[in-house]
């Protein structure tokens, strides 16, 4: 049983998804999905412990040896990602029952949970597999269920957003498929470790170069790097609140993981950073993304839009950390993966609570909510501070390491720009605070009640995690450090 | 050299045609058609990649010694299924868009969205 943990992580939610359809009672399905999700959560904690104590876990599917069979390979990076996805997935799901009762028709509840589980399955699959074609298949499983989840939104613009996401997402996935094909053509294998070892001989060929470019562009579409982010804001803004909270915390992270895996493990650091001016490209795009997206966030009137644009900016920080190309830089990226998942899920879940009570995420509707929903608004403020990067919150930790990494290699301008970018975050968080706390309640509206506890419990769990990991950084820093050192080939 | 690799030229051509249709057309169904052509070109790419000179289909038969590489065929079988799922989901979304917007032209949908946006912001 213990030896099979890596595959159970993927198989259990995959099998549970169709089972949801048999249960077909909203509350029952919710409990079932929650149970499954909690299982994956416990499983991933166990996997992380195992990886940290005894190194990479290799699991061969069906007992076939690696280059012929498919293998799952869990190292520190994978384990960290699995932990992020499964915990956020579970915590967000806890609030799902309350939230979707208001936002979805009764007959769609079962479908919602099975899509949710499928989406989680896809992400687990991408993260744990060591086979490149498997990555594509799981990528499509998670993306297709994400398109459908977004399309469930109440507003008709959700459909249009889902359609646009489908077109762009499929183009991205097909690019990845072309890249995989070109790599297979040159190496004759799909196993990541095997490709990496064989690529050394042929990496000066044009085919490998083309494969690299196709894969990078495809992945950047998925992770919403600045000029390729157009699908993201509307998809996040019009999806059901729960879906937004879940996708914002996990979907782009998985794509960032893929970028790291591709450039470090498969193509190797040397090839990835010397064949293309990748460092400059990513530095520029990351920084421009931070500023452009934060500025856009300042001018938006829908709070979901504001935080969606802020997500694009946060992806910018991750990419900057990646582009610095040192262990500290990569560590900052990984820390920000973890920390951003915590803050964005808290923010979007708290927004979900607001939407549950007032039925809208328009900024103008927030008037007076500071007094009427004190706990929810306090959660938004604390998570918002974390987004800005105020000390004692997780946002500070990852930005601190990012600054250290930039200064270490003498990129002073980058460090200054990262700080300036954080100031823009102050502006859009302040707008929300100002309207919620300093404006009188909206005239002619019934006094709004505090959100139900099923919302407050997960929101505050996430907010407290934001503070806890901002003070006690042992776990996150240790794992991120171990992962980034092993990616750079340094044995601790 | 040029003609010898003609299947790859066809792949590139189809890829460009598909991609162009996705970008240039405003009709949602046409966009999906373009997307399908784009994906199909990749299928052909994989299949030509697996071809072995004078090799037969990778099925055991008497008197045949050379086979094409079966792996790309199998992979592409999976990718075709994925492609069908994508197209089906896309078409389903188009049906729902038609129901709620009354149109499947991109520019008309955007005009309607703009109108709702103006209404909610003031």
Q: Is B101 on the interface with A (CB under 8 A)?
A: yes
Q: Report pLDDT for B121.
A: 55
Highest mean pLDDT among A226-230, A380-384, A473-477, B1-5: A380-384
pLDDT band at A270 (very low <50, low <70, confident <90, very high): confident
Helices marked H in chain B: 6-24, 28-50, 70-101, 106-121
CB contact under 8 A, A159 and B97: yes
The mean pLDDT value for A17-41 works out to 90
CA–CA gap between residue A243 and residue A249 (Å, rounded): 10
Q: Which run of H or E residues covers position A327?
A: helix A327-358
The minimal CB distance from B113 to the residues A157, A163, A178 is found for A157
Q: What percent of chain A has pLDDT over 90?
A: 48
Q: Is A298 on the interface with B (CB under 8 A)?
A: no
Q: What is the DSSP letter of A472?
A: -
| Residue carrying the six token digits 């969205």 | B113
User: CA nearest A239: which of A104, A368, A330, A89?
Assistant: A104
Instruction: Please compute Rg for chain B using Cα positions.
Output: 21
A-chain CB neighbours of B93 within 8 Å are 147, 151, 159, 162-163, 166
Nearest CA in chain A to B11: A178
Is the predicted pLDDT of residue A24 greater than 60, yes or no?
A: yes
Question: How far is B49 from chain A, CA to nearest CA, in Å?
Answer: 7
A62: tokens are 């069906």
Burial of A275 (0-12, 13-18, 19+ CB in 10 A): middle
User: ipTM of this predicted complex?
Assistant: 0.93
CB contact under 8 A, A147 and B93: yes
User: CA nearest A314: which of A459, A421, A431?
Assistant: A421
The minimal CB distance from A163 to the residues B42, B97, B120 is found for B97
User: Is A284 strand, coil or helix?
Assistant: helix
Chain centre distance of CA A65: 32
The mean pLDDT value for A307-336 works out to 91
User: CA nearest B49: which of B82, B4, B77, B8?
Assistant: B8
The mean pLDDT value for A379-392 works out to 90
A-chain CB neighbours of B28 within 8 Å are 163
CB contact under 8 A, A160 and B101: yes
Q: What percent of chain A has pLDDT over 70?
A: 99
CA–CA gap between residue A150 and residue B95 (Å, rounded): 16
Q: Report pLDDT for A114.
A: 92
Q: Report pLDDT for A336.
A: 92
Q: Which run of H or E residues covers position A342?
A: helix A327-358
CA–CA gap between residue A465 and residue A379 (Å, rounded): 12
A87-125 b/e (C-beta count within 10 Å ≥ 16 → b): bbbbbbbbbbbbbbeebbeeeebbbbbbbbbbbbbbbbb
Q: Between A and B, how many residue pairs show a Cβ–Cβ distance under 8 A?
A: 72
User: CA nearest A29: which of A138, A130, A114?
Assistant: A114
CA–CA gap between residue A436 and residue A112 (Å, rounded): 32
Are the CB atoms for A162 and A150 separated by under 8 Å? yes
B-chain CB neighbours of A362 within 8 Å are 120-121
Task: Kindly report the average pLDDT of chain A as a whole number.
Answer: 89
Q: Report pLDDT for A492.
A: 53
Q: Is B11 on the interface with A (CB under 8 A)?
A: no
Longest Cα–Cα distance in chain A: 73
Question: How far is A156 from chain B, CA to nearest CA, in Å?
Answer: 6
User: Is B105 strand, coil or helix?
Assistant: strand
| Residue carrying the six token digits 């991109």 | B106
In the CATH hierarchy, which fold is given to the domain comprising B1-51+66-121? Helix Hairpins (1.10.287)
User: CA nearest A56: which of A126, A6, A124?
Assistant: A6
The mean pLDDT value for A119-145 works out to 93
User: Is A72 strand, coil or helix?
Assistant: strand
The minimal CB distance from A137 to the residues B82, B93, B109 is found for B82
| Residue carrying the six token digits 């992770």 | A223
CB contact under 8 A, A171 and B109: no
Is the predicted pLDDT of residue B1 greater than 90, yes or no?
A: no
CA–CA gap between residue A129 and residue A115 (Å, rounded): 21
A189: tokens are 């294998």
Is the predicted pLDDT of residue A230 greater than 70, yes or no?
A: yes
pLDDT band at A61 (very low <50, low <70, confident <90, very high): confident
pLDDT band at A166 (very low <50, low <70, confident <90, very high): very high
Is the predicted pLDDT of residue B2 greater than 80, yes or no?
A: no
Choosing among B7, B75, B106, which should be mutated to test the A contact, i.e. which has the most A CBs within 10 A?
Answer: B75
Residues B77-122 have pLDDT tens digits of 999 999 999 999 999 999 999 999 988 888 888 888 888 877 765 4
Q: Is B44 on the interface with A (CB under 8 A)?
A: no
A190: tokens are 């799909």
CA–CA gap between residue A336 and residue A348 (Å, rounded): 17
A94: tokens are 């806890």
Q: What pTM was computed for the model? A: 0.92
Is the predicted pLDDT of residue A382 greater than 80, yes or no?
A: yes
Tell me the torsion sign for CA atoms A165, A167, A168, A172: positive
Q: Label each residue of A156-222 as H, E or C.
A: CHHHHHHHHHHHHHHHHHHHHHHHHHHHHHHHCCCEHHHHHHHHHHHCCCHHHHHHHHHHHHHHHHH
Q: Is B49 on the interface with A (CB under 8 A)?
A: yes
Residue A393: phi, psi to the nearest 5? -120, 165
Is the predicted pLDDT of residue A353 greater than 80, yes or no?
A: yes
Q: Report pLDDT for B61.
A: 80
The mean pLDDT value for A84-93 works out to 92
Contacts of A142 (CB under 8 A, 6+ apart): A118, A119, A120, A121, A122, A123, A125, A126, A251, A254
B-chain CB neighbours of A174 within 8 Å are 38-39, 42
Query: B residues 20-39 near A, CB within 8 Å?
Result: 22, 28, 31, 35, 38-39
Nearest CA in chain B to A174: B39
Choosing among B49, B70, B82, which should be mutated to test the A contact, i.e. which has the most A CBs within 10 A?
Answer: B82
The minimal CB distance from A163 to the residues B28, B46, B71 is found for B28
The mean pLDDT value for A403-411 works out to 89
> Partners of A60 in the beta sheet?
A71
Is the predicted pLDDT of residue B76 greater than 80, yes or no?
A: yes
Is the predicted pLDDT of residue A120 greater than 80, yes or no?
A: yes
Instruction: Please compute Rg for chain A using Cα positions.
Output: 21
- Angle (CA) B118-B120-B121 rounded to 5° is 65
Q: Report pLDDT for A68.
A: 82
The mean pLDDT value for A375-396 works out to 90
Task: Say how many residues make up chain B.
Answer: 122
CB contact under 8 A, A181 and B72: yes
CB contact under 8 A, A159 and B39: no
Is the predicted pLDDT of residue A168 greater than 90, yes or no?
A: yes
Domain boundaries, chain A: 302-491
């Amino acid at each position: 049983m213990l030896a099979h943990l890596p595959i159970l992580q993927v198989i259990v939610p995959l099998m549970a998804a169709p089972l949801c359809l048999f249960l077909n009672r909203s509350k029952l399905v919710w409990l079932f999905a929650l149970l499954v999700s909690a299982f994956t959560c416990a499983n991933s904690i166990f996997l992380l412990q195992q990886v940290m104590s005894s190194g990479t876990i290799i699991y061969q599917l069906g007992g076939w040896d690696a280059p012929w069979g498919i293998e799952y390979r869990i190292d520190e990076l994978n384990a960290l990602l699995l932990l992020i996805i499964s915990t956020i997935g579970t915590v967000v799901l806890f609030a799902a029952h309350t939230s979707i009762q208001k936002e979805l028709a009764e007959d769609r509840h079962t479908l919602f949970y099975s899509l949710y589980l499928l989406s989680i399955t896809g992400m687990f699959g991408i993260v744990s597999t060591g086979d490149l074609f498997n990555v594509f298949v799981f990528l499509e499983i998670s993306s297709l269920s994400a398109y459908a989840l977004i399309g469930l939104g109440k507003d008709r613009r959700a459909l249009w957003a889902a359609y646009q996401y489908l077109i762009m997402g499929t183009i991205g996935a097909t690019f990845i498929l072309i890249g995989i094909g070109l790599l297979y053509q040159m190496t004759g294998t799909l196993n990541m470790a095997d490709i990496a070892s064989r690529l050394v001989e042929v990496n000066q060929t044009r085919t490998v170069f083309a494969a690299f470019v196709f894969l990078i562009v495809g992945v950047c579409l998925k992770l919403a790097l600045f000029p390729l982010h157009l699908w993201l804001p509307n998809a996040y803004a019009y999806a059901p609140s729960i879906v937004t909270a879940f996708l914002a915390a996990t979907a782009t992270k998985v794509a960032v993981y893929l970028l790291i895996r591709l450039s470090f493990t498969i193509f190797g650091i040397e090839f990835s950073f010397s064949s293309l001016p990748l460092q400059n490209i990513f530095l520029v795009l990351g920084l421009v993304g931070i500023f452009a997206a934060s500025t856009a966030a300042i001018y938006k009137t829908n709070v979901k839009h504001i935080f969606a644009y802020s997500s694009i900016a946060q992806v910018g920080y991750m990419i900057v950390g990646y582009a610095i190309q040192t262990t500290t830089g990569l560590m900052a990226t990984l820390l920000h993966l973890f920390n951003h998942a915590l803050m964005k899920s808290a923010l979007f879940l708290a927004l979900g609570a607001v939407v549950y009570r007032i039925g809208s995420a328009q900024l103008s509707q927030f008037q007076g909510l500071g007094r009427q929903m004190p706990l929810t608004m306090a959660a938004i403020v604390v998570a918002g501070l974390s987004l800005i990067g105020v000390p004692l919150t997780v946002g500070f930790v990852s930005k601190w390491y990012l600054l250290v990494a930039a200064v270490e290699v003498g990129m002073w301008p980058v460090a200054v720009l990262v700080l300036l970018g954080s100031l823009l975050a102050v502006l859009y968080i302040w707008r929300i605070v100002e309207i919620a706390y300093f404006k009188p309640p909206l005239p002619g509206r019934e006094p709004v009640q505090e959100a139900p506890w099923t919302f407050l419990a997960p929101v505050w769990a996430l907010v407290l995690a934001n503070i806890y990991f901002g003070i006690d950084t042992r776990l996150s820093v240790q794992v991120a450090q171990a992962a980034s050192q092993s990616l750079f080939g340094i044995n601790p | 050299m040029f003609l010898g690799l003609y299947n790859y030229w066809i792949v590139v051509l189809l890829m460009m045609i598909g991609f162009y249709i996705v970008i240039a057309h405003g009709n949602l169904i046409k966009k999906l058609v373009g997307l399908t052509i784009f994906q199909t070109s990749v299928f052909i790419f994989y299949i030509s990649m697996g071809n072995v000179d004078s090799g037969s289909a990778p099925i055991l038969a008497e008197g045949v010694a050379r086979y094409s590489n079966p792996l790309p065929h199998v992979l592409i079988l999976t990718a075709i299924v994925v492609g069908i799922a994508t197209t089906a989901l896309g078409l389903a979304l188009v049906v729902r868009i038609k129901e709620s917007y009354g149109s499947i032209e991109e520019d008309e949908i955007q005009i309607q969205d703009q109108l709702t946006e103006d209404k909610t912001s003031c």
